Amino acid sequence: MNKKKIYLDYAATTPVDSEILEAMLPYFSKGYGNPMSIHGFGQEALEAVDEARDRAADFFGCAPSEIFFTSGATESNNLAIKGILKSFRILQLQTKKDIKPHIITTKFEHHSVLDVCKAVERGGFAEITFINPDKEGLILTRDIEKTIKPNTILVSIMYVNNEIGTLQPIAEIGKKLKKINEERQKNKQPRILFHTDATQAVNYFNCTVDDLGVDMLSMSAHKIYGPKGVGILYIRKGTPIKNIQQGGDQELKMRAGTHNVPAIVGLGKAISMIKNQKTKEESNKIKKLRDYLIARVLKEIPGSYLNGSKNMRSPNNANFRFDDIEGEGLVLSLDLDGIAVSTGSACSSGALEPSHVLLSLGLKHEQAHGSLRITLGKHISREDVELLILKLKEAVERLRKISGNVLAEFK
């Protein structure tokens, strides 16, 4: 008899919804034209791409011309940061000024922001300030304000942390930067641009770009029940950004490369499904299950703690740490029981180092190593959560016994 399998790693990726898959299928073998071709096959594909762009623009509350399709949020984040730096560098050469630009970000960004910022800092292309979150995993607007310098050109803050699920005050930061930019304009200083990685937020929170006050926003389709390999970078009209990839005139010359038409269609369908009543009901169900899970684990498993804010967090995220437990051991143990969870970001699951996100909260290495990320989705039931709790309690008890026996042998 096959063991029931339960997937609880929705922050890593989501299964493609059947409606979304159905919308994509014709563009693999029937509407297979290249959107850049002027013949009928190409124009049919172009119509599909344009419809997806319109759907995304409607969701984000922007013009279709401000939506740029990419291979996903990692590419979008790279384009946002490197594209702004490239534009700034070109302006410097034209004006014969030599000012090193300053970028503000956080210590717990996704690696596609963090590593890019570290790379440009090492290369001497920019000065970077990495802000620490507080102990609850929240970024304070006043901490950003304190780090702003005359040469600051970009602030990049993720909307929802991918590991601990904490919700950042993006709209509040946007309002503050707007006021600061008004003063800078009077002093003829460069405007500070604002970028957010909204990959984990799109499914659950307001992403209307004017409400957030952002100039750029990144997202991926595979976090919202769409396909892998496609995403968006929203770029507000007038934002000084240059392409970082050459070889074609696609996406208004901002992103070279043949359009992934089936995936773009899937993204458009996925994003159009978020606003409906069914999705809101699913989100409420997920939050109730998440709250139930957190309450049970903290009550019934000694030495268990919730990482991140209890209230200011994504409705599908529960990130725990356990005393005297290795997170990797828990993941493997639960996997043997048919339950898929993770210790942190899927992009760093092969790393032996403790989570940089948890370390940024001030946790010790051994505490960060004992973490477990559980992320729920619309296919999860109360019965699934009950089984998870049962197997988690068994795994923690078993692993602590093993750990105690091993330590006893060395005494």
Q: Which residue has the tokens 């984040």?
A: 77
Amino acid letter at 121?
E
Please indicate whether residue 347 is annotated as part of the active site.
yes
- Considering only CA atoms, give the Rg of the chain: 23
Cβ proximity of 302 and 192 under 8 Å: no
CA distances from 247 to 71, 262, 370, 399 (A): 15, 21, 46, 53
CA distances from 98 to 101, 139, 251 (A): 9, 31, 31
Which tokens hold the place of 121? 């800092």
What is the spatial distance between Cα 152 and Cα 207, in angstroms, rounded to a whole number?
Answer: 25
Helix (H) or strand (E) holding 91: helix 73-95
Cβ proximity of 395 and 333 under 8 Å: yes
Query: Angle 111-122/73-95 helices, nearest 10 degrees?
Result: 30
Instruction: Tell me the backbone φ, ψ of residue 69, rounded to 5 degrees.
Output: -80, 135
The count of other CB atoms within 10 Å of the CB of residue 22 is: 12
What is the spatial distance between Cα 20 and Cα 267, in angstroms, rounded to a whole number?
Answer: 8
Q: Catalytic residue among 62, 117, 207, 347, which?
A: 347
What are the residue numbers of the active site? 347
